[in-house]
Structure 1
Amino acid sequence: MICTVTSGCEKSTIIQLLERFYGVTSGQLVSISSTYNLKPVLFDLTLAKNITYGLENASMIDIINAASTANIHQLIDQLPQGYETKVGLKGSFLSGDEKQRIAIARARIHRPKVLPLNEATSSMDSYNEQLLQVALEQAQTEDFSRTLLIIAHRLSTIRSCDLICVLDRGHIMESGIHTEMTRERGVYY
């Protein structure tokens, strides 16, 4: 896992380059696999179709597993139409937290090799953030070749990452693991 933790240092630009929102003007961006946009963009479709959006052959078991990992299955299961419930335009029938968890379920079911998470826990309470941490760790152990690129300001989100990079104006100012970087009392501290 790679994380960045300061404001205004081009973190989102890095994600947008990976997601091909921008073209590379110099140098080269090598694609090792597909990336997945985790912004909670939802469509006026059912919950199941929003979770599997862009994926044609997902089984109901796959959908439920992805939703369970994202801690949204219990809520969906309690709805009268369950996974066939329409979410409204841009997910208007869901809270910000619920939209984010649907987006996480979508990312989980697609199983990308590189998964950029841009402030993925920003709309979550601490309980759901903790559940997401467990789910991300589980996803990492299932496939060690998977790279999670986590952009976050919350210390709780990044403290267990394999590598933390502190960026400032597009430059890496400091990198390491949480315990080392707090002990050194540098920019990260």
Structure 2
Amino acid sequence: MKNYHSILIIAFIALLGCEASKPSLDKNSRDDSLTMQEVAASEDEIKVEPNPSKGQAESETNASSHSFEPKAEAGSNSGPWSVTALPSYSEEEEVKVSFTNSSDETIILYNPMRKNVERLKNGEWASVNVVYCRCRPCPAPPETREIRPGKSYSVKWSKKEDGCNENKFTQSECKPGTYRISISYRSDGARSVESIEFKI
């Protein structure tokens, strides 16, 4: 009987020892679990955290590309017209000036058959005689002509001044210098003059 009581006491002491060590194991396990969660949370934060320097660099690169993006140069525009002409013409070239209606409305051109050519002389513009009909009775030219949006009106000039001598048509070469061709028109209810200068 005495041996039986001794065995019970030893078993009881062993049981108490297991129970005493169990909370320590649970604590260590819980600490380990918390540590793993903190590491996982830290890794998640690193993954989703934006890179300010990279984003700023990309933003500056995009802004720079837009700021320095080359743009195409526009044509020569004046009022409702887009004018095409050379700044100077060689001796062999015929002068040609094109006026294109770049507006959204129809422009009324006055005296479309007449070429209004002038030469700059002593700081003033002097008329150069250019006729549309050669020294004979000619029908009256049309007074106006409509130039619709996107359509063009061209003036060609041989760089010669016209004349009539005893009803005979004559021409003389114009001297080198600065000249201009002008057109008279009505747009937006107002009458205006458009001129383009060039050299020969």
TM-score (norm. length: structure 1): 0.22
> Rg bigger for which structure?
2
TM-score (norm. length: structure 2): 0.21
